[in-house]
């Protein structure tokens, strides 16, 4: 069995994006080239309904957190010892708190329940991982980790011209960008630490070769130490070359031996020094871009970004007054579209188009005196038109939602019945106990009457708590009204009040004036609906 499973796991590991420790850096693209790459990426990526099981991003995030913390501690220890560090290491040391913040936000914004809903890729290096992760990976690779909101906007729009992303994926763009940036910083930090360790090893060997810092000179220490080793890390080689550069080769033959080794590898001392300096310079730029991008990610208005790239929003705005609604209401529409798409065979764009079609059909057949609510797609997405709309699109409710829908369908009746059952239970239990103790019947009746109101209070509190935990608060649809209330929506706010004393009346009028001054824009008026305390009604 083990021999049969080994090739499978080996194949999965071979296609894992986590196999390489190289910094994520590819050819730097312009905006036009980024858009072309996004289109080709969208054509190549295919999602699958039943993806292969792959390690969660949270597991890799924990590993990245461990590596970054170890790198931070190593750099902090080096500075504590007075050792020089590279600019990339300084960026990590000074901004590690920002890295911790990114990791916390990833854990908060990418719970397992949300992660499971993201469409997964069928094949390629990201097989079994969210499609949006591949999108973020490509963007980071071809921008050298330099985040720019407009570049990302163009990239996502170009991708969706070939293959639309779901609402959930568009919300996850910011999260997966953070995931990829943390991954790339982990790779850069690992290189910083390994290069530093290599340079320290080269310094220790140079001390032995030169007989400094308490060592006795051993001119052939390099040959004795590494007779079977024909290559060294570039950072080790460059540091050793720099330490031995000005030494007499007759006294220190290691330099001549090292140059011969480099010649056998098809390179020279000058070339390897130049390449290592270029590598360090590129690493410094990448780490700077990573830290700067992490800071910029926290400043972006992601809801605005989402609505600017959402094809569902574009469709609803083009065919209805969707743009006039406030953000919570627009989000209600989107969540309903997501739910209908998961429970039917239609895509989110098809669901939105069906809701618009139903609204337009009613508007076309009406005589102008019908229910105006039915001319808005929200009537079919979140209001009384849901049942008929669900039948039209072939929506099937998940079984776990059946009890909740039954309770909501029964409405107040179920609510009152629940209070009655809980109240009777709370009242009857102590009465049964007292009856078992042979309490007289008259006393039981008296106790029942006295305990009726407290038991109902307990029942109402328990049922309300259960309802809030199960269903939460309901967001009422609303308009944005950025420019205030228009004339055709003129509104009067009437405050009821009793005329008791002159001082109380003056206080009510002063409070009303405060409300008026706090709402200077639009057609909004305030009034007192008052009467005397001895009025019959």
Q: Is the pLDDT of residue 227 over 50?
A: no
Residue 303 lies in a domain: no
Q: How confident is residue 165, by pLDDT bands cut at 50, 70 and 90?
A: very high
Residue 122 lies in a domain: yes
CA-only gyration radius of the chain, Å: 35
Rounded CA separation 27/125 (Å): 18
In this prediction, residues 295-305 reach a mean pLDDT of 95
Same domain, 188 and 202: no
- Can you tell me whether residue 25 is helix, strand or coil? coil
Residue 528: strand pairing partners: 495
Q: Is the pLDDT of residue 217 over 70?
A: no
pLDDT, greater one: 249 or 88: 88
**pLDDT tens-digit profile of 50-78?**
888 888 899 999 999 999 999 999 999 99
In this prediction, residues 526-532 reach a mean pLDDT of 86
Tell me the percentage of the chain whose pLDDT exceeds 90.
Answer: 46
Same domain, 43 and 188: yes
Cα distances from 188 to residues 194, 202, 516, in angstroms, run 10, 21, 58
Q: How confident is residue 147, by pLDDT bands cut at 50, 70 and 90?
A: very high
**pLDDT tens-digit profile of 456-501?**
888 899 888 887 887 777 778 888 888 888 888 889 999 888 888 8
Among 332, 362, 396, where does a domain finish?
396
Residue 48 lies in a domain: yes
Same domain, 516 and 457: no
Highest mean pLDDT among 140-154, 262-276, 416-430: 140-154
Does the pTM of the predicted model rise above 0.85? Answer: no
What one-character-per-residue DSSP string does 402-414 give? Answer: HHHHHHHHHTHHH
Structure-token match 């905006």, residue found:
31
Sign for the pseudo-dihedral over CA of 147, 148, 151, 154: positive
Structure-token match 């005196």, residue found:
369
Same domain, 388 and 421: no
Please check whether residue 91 is in contact with residue 98, taking contact to mean a CB–CB distance below 8 angstroms. no
Assigned token pair, 165: 């992303």
Please check whether residue 159 is in contact with residue 40, taking contact to mean a CB–CB distance below 8 angstroms. no
Same domain, 22 and 57: yes
Residue 2 lies in a domain: no
Q: Is the pLDDT of residue 412 over 80?
A: no
DSSP label at residue 51? P
Show the CA angle centred on residue 166, arms to residues 162 and 170, nearest 5°. 95
Rounded CA separation 210/221 (Å): 10
Angle between helix 269-297 and helix 96-109 axes, rounded to 10 deg: 50
Count other C-beta atoms under 10 Å from residue 448's C-beta: 15
Residue 283: strand pairing partners: none
What one-character-per-residue DSSP string does 289-302 give? Answer: HHHHHHHHHTTS-H
Same domain, 66 and 124: yes
Among 126, 158, 192, where does a domain finish?
192
Instruction: Please state which of the ranges 319-328, 347-356, 450-459 shows the lowest mean pLDDT.
Output: 450-459
Q: Is the pLDDT of residue 526 over 50?
A: yes
- Where residue 497 falls (left for φ over 0; alpha for ψ -120 to 50; beta otherwise) is beta
Residue 305 lies in a domain: no
In this prediction, residues 410-427 reach a mean pLDDT of 80
Rounded CA separation 137/135 (Å): 5
Assigned token pair, 133: 């992760």
- Can you tell me whether residue 193 is helix, strand or coil? helix
- Can you tell me whether residue 530 is helix, strand or coil? strand
For residue 114, what is the domain's CATH number?
3.90.1200
Among residues 54, 188, 63, which one has the least CA distance to residue 133? 54
Residue 451 lies in a domain: yes
**Residue 369's pLDDT is what?**
61
DSSP label at residue 120? E
Mean per-residue pLDDT of the chain: 85
Helix (H) or strand (E) holding 257: helix 254-264
Structural domains of the chain, count: 5
Residue 459 lies in a domain: yes
In this prediction, residues 329-354 reach a mean pLDDT of 95
- Can you tell me whether residue 297 is helix, strand or coil? helix
DSSP label at residue 324? G
Same domain, 501 and 457: no
Rounded CA separation 119/128 (Å): 9
Same domain, 281 and 376: no
Residues with Cβ within 8 Å of 35's Cβ and at least 6 positions away in sequence, in order, are 154, 155, 157, 158
In this prediction, residues 296-311 reach a mean pLDDT of 95
Same domain, 81 and 121: yes
Q: Which domain holds residue 495?
A: 487-532
DSSP label at residue 399? G
**Residue 305's pLDDT is what?**
97
**Residue 7's pLDDT is what?**
39
Q: How confident is residue 5, by pLDDT bands cut at 50, 70 and 90?
A: very low
Same domain, 113 and 185: yes
**pLDDT tens-digit profile of 25-35?**
999 999 999 99
- Where residue 124 falls (left for φ over 0; alpha for ψ -120 to 50; beta otherwise) is left
**Residue 4's pLDDT is what?**
37
Strand ranges, E, within 268-344: none
Residue 57 lies in a domain: yes
Please check whether residue 253 is in contact with residue 219, taking contact to mean a CB–CB distance below 8 angstroms. yes
Among 396, 429, 458, where does a domain finish?
396
**pLDDT tens-digit profile of 171-206?**
999 999 999 999 999 999 999 999 888 888 888 877
**Residue 249's pLDDT is what?**
62
Cα distances from 327 to residues 109, 378, 481, in angstroms, run 19, 14, 11
Count other C-beta atoms under 10 Å from residue 144's C-beta: 21
Same domain, 183 and 130: yes
Same domain, 237 and 114: no
Show the CA angle centred on residue 492, arms to residues 486 and 496, nearest 5°. 160
Q: Is the pLDDT of residue 389 over 80?
A: yes
């Amino acid at each position: 069995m083990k021999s049969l499973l080994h090739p499978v796991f080996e194949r999965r590991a071979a296609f894992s994006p986590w196999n390489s420790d190289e910094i994520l850096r590819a050819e730097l693209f312009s905006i036009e080239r980024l858009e072309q790459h996004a289109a080709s990426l969208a054509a190549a990526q295919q999602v699958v309904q039943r993806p292969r099981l792959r390690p969660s991003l949270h597991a890799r995030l924990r590993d990245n957190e461990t590596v970054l913390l170890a790198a931070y501690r190593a750099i902090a220890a080096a500075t504590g010892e007075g050792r020089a560090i590279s600019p990339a290491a300084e960026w990590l040391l000074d901004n590690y708190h920002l890295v911790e913040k990114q990791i916390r936000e990833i854990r908060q914004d990418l719970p397992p329940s949300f992660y499971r809903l993201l469409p997964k890729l069928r094949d390629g290096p990201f097989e079994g991982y969210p499609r949006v992760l591949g999108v973020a990976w490509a963007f980071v690779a071809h921008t050298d980790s330099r985040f720019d909101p407009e570049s990302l906007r163009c990239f996502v729009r170009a991708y969706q011209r070939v293959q639309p992303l779901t609402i959930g994926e568009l919300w996850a763009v910011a999260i997966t960008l953070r995931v990829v940036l943390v991954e790339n910083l982990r790779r850069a930090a690992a290189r910083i630490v390994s290069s530093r360790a290599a340079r320290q090893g080269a310094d220790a060997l140079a001390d032995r070769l030169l007989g400094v810092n308490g060592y006795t000179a051993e001119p052939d220490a390099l040959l004795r130490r590494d007779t079977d080793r024909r290559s060294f890390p570039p950072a080790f080689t460059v540091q050793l070359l720099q330490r031995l550069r000005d030494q007499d080769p007759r006294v220190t033959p290691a330099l001549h031996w090292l140059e011969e080794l480099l010649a056998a590898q098809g390179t020279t001392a000058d070339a390897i020094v130049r390449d290592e300096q270029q590598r360090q310079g590129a690493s410094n730029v990448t780490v700077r871009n990573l830290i700067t991008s992490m800071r910029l990610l926290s400043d972006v208005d992601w809801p605005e970004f989402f609505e600017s790239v959402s094809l569902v929003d574009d469709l609803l705005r083009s065919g209805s007054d969707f743009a006039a609604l406030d953000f919570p209401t627009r989000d209600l529409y989107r969540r309903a579209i997501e739910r209908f798409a998961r429970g039917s065979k239609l895509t989110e764009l098809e669901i939105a188009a069906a809701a618009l079609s139903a609204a337009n059909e009613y508007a076309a057949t009406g005589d102008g005196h019908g229910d105006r609510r039915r001319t808005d797609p929200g009537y079919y997405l979140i209001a009384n038109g849901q049942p008929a709309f669900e039948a039209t699109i072939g929506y099937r409710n998940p079984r776990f939602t059946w009890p909740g829908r039954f309770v909501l369908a029964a409405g107040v009746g179920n609510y009152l019945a629940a209070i009655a059952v809980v109240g009777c239970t709370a009242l009857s239990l102590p009465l049964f106990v007292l009856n078992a103790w042979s309490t007289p019947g008259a006393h039981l009746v008296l106790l029942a009457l006295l305990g009726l109101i407290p038991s109902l209070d307990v029942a109402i509190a328990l049922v309300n708590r259960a309802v809030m935990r199960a269903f939460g608060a309901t967001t009422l649809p609303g308009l944005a009204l950025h420019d205030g209330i228009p004339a055709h929506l003129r509104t009067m706010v009437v405050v009821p009040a009793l005329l008791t004393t002159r001082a109380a009346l003056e206080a009510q009028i002063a409070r009303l004036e405060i409300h008026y001054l706090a709402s200077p824009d639009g057609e909004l008026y305030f009034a007192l609906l008052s009467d005397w305390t001895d009025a019959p009604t």
